[in-house]
Amino acid sequence: MATPSTGGSAMAMSHCSSNARLISFTSRNRSCMVFLLRKEKPCVRCVSGEPKQRVRDPITEEGILGDLSSFPPDAASIASSIKYHAEFTPLFSSQNFEPSKAFFATAQSVRDALIINWNATYDLYEQMNVKQAYYLSMEFLQGRALLNAIGNLELTGEYAEALKKLGYNLETVASQEPDAALGNGGLGRLASCFLDSLATLNYPAWGYGLRYKHGLFKQQITKDGQEEVAESWLEIGNPWEIVRNDVSYPVKFGGKVAVGSDGKRRWIGGEDIVAVAYDVPIPGYKTKTTINLRLWSTKVSSDRFDLSAFNAGEHTKACEAQANAEKICYILYPGDESEEGKILRLKQQYTLCSASLQDIIARFERRSGGNVRWEEFPDKVAVQMNDTHPTLCIPELMRILMDLKGMSWEEAWRITQRTVAYTNHTVLPEALEKWSYDLMQRLLPRHVEIIEMIDEQLIEDIISEYGTSNPEMLEKKFAAMRILENFDLPASIADLLAKPEQRPVDVIENAEANDEATVTDNDELEGEGTQTVYQESASIPPKMVRMANLCVVGGHAVNGVAEIHSEIVKNEVFNDFFQLWPEKFQNKTNGVTPRRWIRFCNPDLSVVITKWIGTEDWVLKTEKLAELRKFADNEDLQIEWRAAKRSNKIKVAKFLKEKTGYSVNPDAMFDIQVKRIHEYKRQLLNILGIVYRYKKMKEMAVAERKAKFVPRVCIFGGKAFATYVQAKRIVKFITDVGATINHDPDIGDFLKVVFVPDYNVSVAELLIPASELSQHISTAGMEASGTSNMKFSMNGCILIGTLDGANVEIRQEVGDENFFLFGAQAHEIAALRKERAAGKFVPDERFEEVKEFVKSGAFGPYNYDKLMGSLEGDEGFGRADYFLVGKDFPSYIECQETVDDAYRDQRRWTKMSILNTTGSYKFSSDRTIHEYAKDIWNIQPLQLH
Per-residue b or e along 170-192, where b marks 16 or more CB atoms closer than 10 Å to that residue's CB: beebbebbbbbbbbbbbbbbbbb
User: Among 390, 423, 440, where does a domain finish?
Assistant: 390
The pLDDT, as a whole number, for residue 531 is 42
**Residue tagged active-site, from 56, 144, 304, 425:** 425
* Residue type at position 796: G
Compute the distance between CA of residue 862 and CA of residue 161 in angstroms, rounded to an integer: 53
The pLDDT, as a whole number, for residue 738 is 98
Q: Are 797 and 916 in contact (CB under 8 A)?
A: yes
Residues 644 and 787 in one domain: yes
The answer to whether position 454 is within a domain reads no
The pLDDT, as a whole number, for residue 597 is 97
The answer to whether position 23 is within a domain reads no
pTM across the whole model = 0.89
pLDDT tens profile 272-294: 999 999 999 999 999 999 999 99
Residues 262 and 291 in one domain: yes
**Residue tagged active-site, from 213, 565, 645, 675:** 675
Residues 695 and 816 in one domain: yes
The pLDDT, as a whole number, for residue 512 is 40
The answer to whether position 768 is within a domain reads yes
- Please state the rounded mean pLDDT for residues 651-672: 98
Query: Strands (DSSP E) along 331-468, which ranges?
Result: 381-386, 420-423, 434-436
Compute the distance between CA of residue 182 and CA of residue 342 in angstroms, rounded to an integer: 20
Residues 118 and 140 in one domain: no
User: Among 390, 410, 445, where does a domain finish?
Assistant: 390
The pLDDT, as a whole number, for residue 498 is 54
Residues 634 and 708 in one domain: yes
The answer to whether position 473 is within a domain reads no
681 is catalytic: yes
CATH number at residue 706: 3.40.50.2000
The string of DSSP letters for 467-487 reads -SS-HHHHHHHHHHH-SEET-
Task: Determine which helix (DSSP H) or strand (DSSP E) holds 613, and give its type and residue range.
Answer: helix 603-613
565 is catalytic: no
**Residue tagged active-site, from 21, 342, 676, 752:** 676
Q: Which residues pair with 265 in a beta bridge?
A: 259
Residues 752 and 627 in one domain: yes
User: Among 348, 373, 390, where does a domain finish?
Assistant: 390
Res 470 pLDDT > 50: yes
Res 215 pLDDT > 80: yes
**Residue tagged active-site, from 419, 787, 802, 928:** 787
Res 10 pLDDT > 90: no
Residues 211 and 101 in one domain: no
Residues 174 and 185 in one domain: no
pLDDT tens profile 607-629: 999 999 999 999 999 999 999 99
pLDDT tens profile 761-808: 999 999 999 999 999 999 999 999 999 999 999 999 999 999 999 999
The answer to whether position 501 is within a domain reads no
pLDDT tens profile 74-91: 899 999 999 999 988 878
Query: Strands (DSSP E) along 125-177, which ranges?
Result: 132-136
Half-sphere exposure of 810 (CA within 13 A, CB side): 35
Res 38 pLDDT > 60: no
Give the structural domain span for 118. 73-128+145-178
Higher pLDDT, 594 or 530: 594
The pLDDT, as a whole number, for residue 516 is 37
The pLDDT, as a whole number, for residue 614 is 96
pLDDT tens profile 839-861: 999 999 999 999 999 999 999 99
**Residue tagged active-site, from 244, 791, 811, 887:** 791
Q: What pLDDT band is residue 944 in, cutting at 50, 70 and 90? A: confident
The string of DSSP letters for 424-454 reads -----GGGS-EEEHHHHHHH-HHHHHHHHHH
Residues 256 and 297 in one domain: yes
Backbone angles phi, psi at 57, to 5 degrees: -65, 120
The answer to whether position 100 is within a domain reads yes
Q: Are 236 and 209 in contact (CB under 8 A)?
A: no
The pLDDT, as a whole number, for residue 1 is 36
Res 810 pLDDT > 50: yes
The pLDDT, as a whole number, for residue 72 is 57
Q: Are 607 and 938 in contact (CB under 8 A)?
A: no
Q: Are 110 and 91 in contact (CB under 8 A)?
A: no
930 is catalytic: no
CB atoms within 10 A of CB 571: 11
The string of DSSP letters for 617-684 reads GGGT-GGGGGGGGGGTT-HHHHHHHHHHHHHHHHHHHHHHHHHHS----TTSEEEEEES---GGGTHH
The pLDDT, as a whole number, for residue 495 is 77
791 is catalytic: yes
Q: Are 62 and 70 in contact (CB under 8 A)?
A: no
* Residue type at position 194: F
Res 22 pLDDT > 90: no
Res 92 pLDDT > 90: no
Q: Which residues pair with 755 in a beta bridge?
A: 716
Residues 858 and 891 in one domain: yes
The answer to whether position 447 is within a domain reads no
Backbone angles phi, psi at 897, to 5 degrees: -65, -35
Residues 114 and 252 in one domain: no
- Please state the rounded mean pLDDT for residues 509-528: 38
Compute the distance between CA of residue 470 and CA of residue 496 in angstroms, rounded to an integer: 11
Q: How many domains does the chain have?
A: 3
The pLDDT, as a whole number, for residue 48 is 35
Q: How many residues does the chain have?
A: 945
The pLDDT, as a whole number, for residue 23 is 34
The pLDDT, as a whole number, for residue 205 is 98
Res 57 pLDDT > 50: no
**Strand, coil or helix: 32:** strand
Chain-wide mean pLDDT for the chain? 89
The answer to whether position 569 is within a domain reads no
Q: Which of 453, 452, 446, 457 is nearest to 259 (CA)?
A: 446
* Residue type at position 119: N
Share of the chain above pLDDT 70, in %: 88
Higher pLDDT, 67 or 304: 304
Res 30 pLDDT > 80: no
Residues 728 and 765 in one domain: yes
